A and B are shown apart, each in its own frame.
Chain A
C-alpha cells in the first residue's frame, strides 16, 4: 500500500518528504556545504569541479549550474538548502523565490507589497490544468 500524500494535490508545490530527501540527499548536502565561506569561494572559482566532489546525478549538477530551482526541487532539492546557492550569487530571498515563478524579482516584490499571490484558483492541481500562472503569462493572459 502506498504512502498517504494528500499534498500531491496542490499545484506548483513540491513537499519535501522522505522520498524527496532520499533522491536529494547529496544535492542538499552540497548546498548546505555553502554555509562555509571557503566552500563558497571554491564553488565560485569552479562550479563544475566543486560539484564533481559530490556524488550527485548529472541532472542535479546541471540544474544547479542552470540555477533552475524548479528543476532542483523536482530532483530532490529543498528550498532552505538550495537557497544557499542563491546566497553565493548575492541574491536575496525575493530574487531567489521569484526565479521559480512567472514574475521577475521586481514584479514579485510588487506582488508581495500588493498582498501576495491569492489562494483563489491555486489550491488544487485541477485548477492549473491550463498550465498555471507561467503558461497564462506566456500566452499573454492576465
Chain B
C-alpha cells in the first residue's frame, strides 16, 4: 500500500535557485540562509521517498492566460525545467509517476475536486527550487515528482479551506494505491513578500512566525483565513502560503490519527524580496 509519511513546506524564491546553480551558497549574503537549510537537507537525505507530490504555482511559464486551471495535476513521465526569460535552470529533468498521478486524479475527481489534468508541460522555479533546497545538485532527482499546480496568480484563487480539503482527499487517494510506495507531499511558496506596486518589499515577521504555529497546531482554523488577510499582512505574493495547506491537509491527524512531529523549522529574511520559511512534519509511525 502507498502511504503519505511526511510533509514539507518551503519558499521557492528564484534567487535560491540562482545561488545553487552559480555556487554562491557560501557567500556572506546566502550563508545564513543555506546553513538553515542544512538540517532539512540531512533529513531529506535520510528520508528519500519514492514520490513527492509537489504543490506549487506556475509563474507565467506553463499556463499563461489562455488556460487558467485552479488545480492542475501533472500526469506525464517527465517535466522539463522552463526558460522563464533568463534561460532554463541547469537542473535535471523532473520525472513523474504517471500511475500514481492517474490514481490520484481518478480518486479526487470522483470526490468532486475538478482537477485539470496536464501532460507535456514545463515546470518553473516553483517546482525546481524546492528540489534544489532539499537535494542540492544531483545528476538526477532522487525521487519521482507529481507536480500539482495551484492558481494563486489570477483571482479568484482557491480558498484555504479548499486547499486543506484537497490535501485530505489526496491522502485518501494515496492510501488506496496498491503499490508499496513511500510518498511525501510538499507545499511551497511564501512566506511574506510583495513583488509589485509601491508597497513592494513588505515583510511581516511576526505574522510569518504565527503562521508556522497555526500551520502546525491548528490548520483547520488557519484554513479559514481570508485571502485579503494574506495580502494585507503577508504581501500580495505572500498569498502563495495558501498552498502549504494542501500539504498540511494530507497529514494523518486530520484523518483521525496522531499529530505530526516537527522535524525541522527555518526562517530567514531575506532572499531577494522574500521572507524564507521551511518546515518539515513527519507522521507518527
Contacts and interface: CB of A to CB of B under 8 A. Distances in A.
A21 B65 contact: yes
A98 interface: yes
B82 interface: yes
A16 B155 contact: yes
B59 A102 contact: no
A10 B273 contact: no
B84 A12 contact: no
A6 B199 contact: no
Contact of B85 (A84, A115, A116, A132): A84
Contacts of A11: 198-199
A35 B82 contact: yes
B135 to A, nearest CB: 24
B196 A14 contact: yes
**SS class of chain B's interface: helix, strand, loop or mixed?**
loop
B198 A112 contact: no
Contacts of A117: 194, 199-203
A34 to B, nearest CB: 5
A116 B201 contact: yes
B23 interface: no
B199 A81 contact: no
A111 B198 CA distance: 14
Interface in B157-199: 192-199
Contacts of B15: 92-93
Interface in A53-89: 69-70, 73, 78-81, 83-84, 87-88
B11 interface: no
Given A25-B65, A93-B195, A94-B272, A18 B200 contact: no
Interface of A: 6-7, 10-18, 21, 25, 28-29, 31-32, 34-37, 40, 69-70, 73, 78-81, 83-84, 87-88, 92-94, 96-98, 100-103, 108, 111-113, 115-119, 122-124, 132-134
10 contacts: A21-B65, A35-B83, A73-B197, A94-B272, A94-B273, A103-B201, A116-B193, A116-B203, A116-B273, A133-B198
